[in-house]
């Protein structure tokens, strides 16, 4: 799904779904605490519903942000630079939409300019916006690439995310340390192996 379709889907969802009040959210947390077998009214848990809803506002702040607005401002003054622009080792903190468990890792994002460039912080910001939503790593990877592609119209985009999923580390098969790697290449970074190889060499190159 491209960025425009993603935004339309989000708007449609908001129209269909009435957001519960904070009190309703806190009541839901109390219900879950009781369901675990504990007493939500004991001293240590009395303020937990409030703390959890406040934490959720931070974890999922991406629903209230528009990546298109972040990427709206671009620059043409790049001194004729037209080679790879890359951000390496951007920290990723997100939550799996299947179990609400965190997945944590790093992202590497690059693009080939076509007359316009982005402020470097904008790339990290767009990644953060999508990560602060319920996600799959595959969708997150595609959304970041699609947003940059849509906003900048570059000659190509590359996104690689490597993350450990707590839904796999702490439950289920219980395999801590296993990393999931996802990629998305577009344009010349998809069709030209030399660009793609350079991107991967930069991803795995020495850290100074």
pLDDT digits (tens, 9 = 90+) for 62-79: 999 999 999 999 998 788
Catalytic annotation, residues: 96-99, 137, 165, 167
Protein fold of 3-59? GTP Cyclohydrolase I; Chain A, domain 1 (1.10.286)
Phi, psi of 75 (to 5 degrees): -130, 145
**Angle, CA 121 vertex, CA 115 and CA 125 arms, to 5°:** 110
7 pLDDT exceeds 90?
Answer: no
Give residue 10's pLDDT.
62
CA–CA distance from 91 to each of 105, 107, 128, 129, 162 (Å)?
A: 6, 6, 9, 13, 10
**pLDDT tens, residue by residue, 160-173:** 999 999 999 999 99
Domains 3-59 and 73-204 share a fold: no
Q: In this structure, what are the phi and psi dihedrals at residue 67, rounded to the nearest 5 degrees?
A: -60, -30
Domain layout of the chain by residue ranges: 3-59, 73-204
Q: Is the pLDDT of residue 15 over 80?
A: no
Element counts in the chain: helices (H) and strands (E): 9, 5
Q: Is the pLDDT of residue 202 over 80?
A: yes
Beta carbons within 8 Å of 102's beta carbon, 6+ residues apart = 93, 94, 95, 96, 166
Output the pLDDT for position 18: 85
Indicate the average pLDDT of the chain: 93
Instruction: Record the pTM.
Output: 0.89
* Torsion angle (degrees, nearest 10) of CA 39, 45, 49, 51: -170
Average pLDDT value for residue range 170-198? 96
How do residues 97-154 score in pLDDT, each as one tens digit? 999 999 999 999 999 999 899 999 999 999 999 999 999 999 999 999 999 999 999 9
Report percent pLDDT > 70 for the chain.
92
Return the SS3 of 69. helix
Could you tell me the fold of the domain covering 73-204? Answer: GTP Cyclohydrolase I, domain 2 (3.30.1130)
């Amino acid at each position: 799904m491209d960025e425009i379709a993603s935004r339309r889907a989000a708007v449609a969802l908001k129209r269909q779904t009435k957001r519960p009040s904070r009190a309703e959210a806190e009541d839901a947390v109390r219900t879950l605490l009781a369901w675990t077998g504990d007493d939500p009214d004991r001293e240590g848990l009395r303020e937990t519903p409030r703390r959890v809803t406040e934490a959720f506002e931070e974890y999922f702040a991406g629903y209230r942000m528009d990546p298109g607005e972040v990427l709206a401002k671009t620059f043409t003054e790049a001194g004729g630079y037209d080679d790879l622009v890359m951000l390496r080792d951007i920290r990723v903190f997100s939550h799996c939409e299947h179990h609400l468990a965190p997945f944590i890792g790093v992202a590497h994002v690059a693009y080939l300019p076509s007359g316009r460039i982005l402020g470097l912080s904008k790339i990290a910001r767009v990644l953060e916006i999508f990560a602060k939503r319920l996600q799959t790593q595959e969708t997150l990877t595609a959304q970041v690439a699609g947003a940059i592609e849509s906003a900048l119209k570059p000659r190509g985009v590359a996104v690689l995310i490597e993350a450990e999923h707590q839904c796999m580390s702490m439950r289920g098969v219980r395999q801590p340390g296993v990393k999931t790697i996802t990629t998305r290449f577009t344009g010349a970074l998809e069709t030209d192996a030399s660009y793609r190889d350079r991107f991967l060499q930069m991803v795995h190159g020495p850290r100074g």
